[in-house]
Amino acid sequence: MDKKKLSFKDIMINYGVIIIVVLLVIYTGITSKNFLSVNNLTNILMNMSSRLVIALGIAGCIITAGCDLSAGRMIGLGGCIAGTLLQKMDYSQKFFPNMKPMNIFLALLIVMLVCALFGAVTGFFIAYLNVPPFISTMAMMEIVYGINMIYTNATPLGGYVSSYTGIASGRFLGISYLIWIALLVAVITWFIFNMTRHGKYMYAIGGNPQAAEVAGVPVKKTLIIIYAKAAAMYGLAGFMLGAKAGGASVQLGYGYEMEAIAACTIGGVSVSGGRGKVSSAIIGVAVFEILNAARQFLGVNSNAQWIALGIIIFVAISLDIRKYVARK
């Protein structure tokens, strides 16, 4: 049996970004003694937690050859809803002055259900009205932002109960609750992608939606579920970010959708559809967080991250399309 040898060019196309990150980690670790410290690695994992939840949500959309530009604003909505429900009674700027702080699990459920509802609407427009995902999610991005502005009157929120902020500060077996939440979401997502009928439908739609429909796949229903599920995960991420920051505003999560899309493509989720794993999202998010941490230790201008993000998106998607064309 002949084994195809990978050329240097193939290796760089498939693993170039990861190789560059590994070299950067080695260089930063040598030049900055605290970069590889336990505290810094823990901080990287904590920063990864909410971003991984976002990326896992958006990965399902990308696998169906779609996208979700509303993710960032959904995160803001989720964080703000949680913030208004979980403020202390004696907080001077309490949003609902006469309402007692809600149980954090009930508040989380409300956040995820509200966001899932908006996601289902997005999925309906994509599935039944054939609105391109780019347009549909961009429209929902503006709608959600406007609703959040009206709901909060663009007022920053704070004064959260300790049971909410404790989600970020608390630990189990020495590991932050945020990291445990992200791990749980990753395990559940892996199970859905690989062990359920819904996961098989998702990959079939990404591979060829027309063939999937002919084969009996409920394409429309599956798309609605995918976008609703993704939006619920954005709500969870907003809940996590609000707990970590101890506050929220309508700008919470702004721009996170682009990071998530770039992270997925870097990790191996194909924008052409039909391909992608949970590990792809994990790898992509890890790459971004390591790059960000290295930038801070090396003293690179923080505004340069946006330039780097744009370049990474260009390179990752170009290489992905190149691989797709080569397969054809």
Does the residue 7 lie in any domain? Answer: no
Domain assignment present for residue 13? The answer is no
Q: Is 248 helix (H, G, I), strand (E, B) or coil?
A: strand
Q: Is residue 16 part of a domain?
A: no
DSSP letter assigned to residue 102: P
Print the domain residue range for 100. 21-327
CATH classification of the domain holding 315: 1.10.3470
Residue 9 located in a structural domain: no
Stated pTM of the model: 0.90
DSSP state of 157: B
Task: Evaluate whether residue 193 is within a structural domain.
Answer: yes
Between CA 312 and CA 320 the distance in angstroms is 12
Along the 328 residues of the chain, how does pLDDT read in single tens digits? Answer: 445 566 666 666 666 677 777 888 888 888 887 888 888 888 889 999 999 999 999 999 999 999 999 999 999 999 999 999 999 998 888 899 889 999 999 999 999 999 999 999 999 999 999 999 999 999 999 999 999 999 999 899 999 999 999 999 899 998 899 999 999 999 999 999 999 999 999 999 998 999 999 999 999 999 999 999 999 999 999 999 999 999 999 999 998 998 899 888 888 888 888 888 999 899 889 888 888 888 888 777 777 777 777 777 777 777 666 665 555 5
Q: How far is CA 262 from the centre of its chain?
A: 10
Asked, for residue 55, whether it belongs to a domain, the answer is: yes
Q: Residue 204: inside a domain, yes or no?
A: yes
Q: Is residue 215 part of a domain?
A: yes
Q: Total domain count for the chain?
A: 1
Roughly how many angstroms between the first and final C-alpha of the chain, as a whole number?
23
Q: What is the rounded distance in angstroms from the CA atom of residue 86 to the CA atom of residue 99?
A: 10
